Amino acid sequence: MHEPNVAETSPTSWSELEAENADLRRRLEEAEETIHAIQTGAVDAFVVEGPEGVRVYTLEGAERPYRLLVERMQQGAATLRADGTIVYCNESLAELIEVPHEQLIGAVLHDFVAAEDHTVYEDLFSQGLSESSRGEARLRRSDGRLVPAYLTLNRLPRDGGADLGVLVTDLTTQRHHEELAAAHKALRAQELRLLAKERQFQHISDHAAVLIAQCSRDLRFEFVNRACAEFLGRPSEQIIGKPIAEILGRDAFQAIRPYIDRVLAGEQVDYESEIPYSRKGPRWMRVIYVPDFDQLGEKVCGWIAAITDITERKRMETALQDADRRKDEFLATLAHELRNPLAPICNALHVLRESTQRHSLRTEPVFDMMERQVNHMVRLVDDLMEVSRIRAAKSSFRKSA
């Protein structure tokens, strides 16, 4: 059998072979490009046309677990071009800014940064193009609210389709915790200051001679100093929280109740009264009540009492008054006793003058002198009696008051 050689092949067959060879080379180049794209991760899927129609095949590349990880992160993540355009972002970033995911792709991240923080973001962006950068900036949501965020920018490989990778951490919860911690710290510091002041007040009040007590609107003791507890004859822990009537006694409580009503009405009360205590008996007390208002300064929630036992002073005043009264009685009695002999002396002097006047002129100066002295004594006794009457009038005036 004769086999045709090259020389015997027709020109038409030769051209067909060349065309078929060129088509095979083109397909080979396309296959090599596809394989290269698959190997570099530039292709996630490809389309195949067949007898059953068009079918799409996805590729489970090595980077797929990382993409799933980024999508499921709580932090926002995005890749940016050198001009700041968002090439890719996860759903967390879209939810953080409250902008639909499809609207973020192709947008500029700079536009979502608070105007006051543009300079900070620009510095971070410029630094991130050459090396890693980190800092805080506030992002603006669609409704205008600002979200504090911590940005981490890292340069990406040149063949990755983007220039920068951005990780966005929402600091709202952290700021809330920081504010709570700061508020708790401030509250604790205030409590310590109040505790120190309370201890200082306790120290001062315990060394004060005056009795100090704080009472509530429901008529119970809230605080007593050491002097007050000793006066009432009970430890302070057995007094605080107890009704006033139980500690002082029913009669003593009824004696001070009108003054309590006045201080609970907002009036500062100052009085002296003899109070019949159940344990100590009647005692004269000098009392000052000051209303204790609530934090708003509107409602009286109780009162503070400063009390001084003036029983001994009252006893001394009574003793002095008795002595003064007895002195006045003595002076009045003395004046009367002195006045009684002066009247007959004056009469005798007058009779003696009349009987001796016609006998001798030498005795006239003596009678004049005696008469002047007796009249002077009468005036002194009259003045003494007048003073006694005035003092007696004052005493009677005080009793009528």
- Average pLDDT for runs of 10 along the chain of length 401: 48 69 70 58 53 50 51 79 89 88 89 92 90 90 88 81 86 80 83 72 68 93 91 91 93 95 94 91 93 87 92 87 80 72 73 64 69 77 69 46 36
- Among 311, 259, 250, 251, smallest CA distance to 288 is for 259
pLDDT at 389: 65
- Which letter, b or e, does each residue of 131-150 get, where b requires 16 or more Cβ atoms within 10 Å of its Cβ? eebebebbbbeeeeebbbbe
pLDDT at 262: 95
pLDDT at 6: 46
> Which two tokens mark 18?
């060349």
Q: Which domains does the chain have, with CATH numbers?
A: 64-170 (3.30.450.20), 208-309 (3.30.450.20), 319-400 (1.10.287)
pLDDT at 215: 94
| C-alpha distance from residue 359 to each of 346, 347, 352, 353, 364 (Å) | 21, 20, 11, 10, 10
> Which two tokens mark 59?
């590729």
pLDDT at 199: 72
pLDDT at 320: 85
pLDDT at 243: 95
Compute the radius of gyration of the chain from its Cα atoms: 57
Please, are residues 343 and 378 in contact by the beta-carbon 8 Å criterion? no
pLDDT at 67: 56
Half-sphere exposure of 107 (CA within 13 A, CB side): 17
- Among 256, 226, 219, 210, smallest CA distance to 241 is for 219
pLDDT at 28: 64
List pLDDT tens digits, range 77-110: 888 998 999 988 888 888 888 888 888 888 999 9
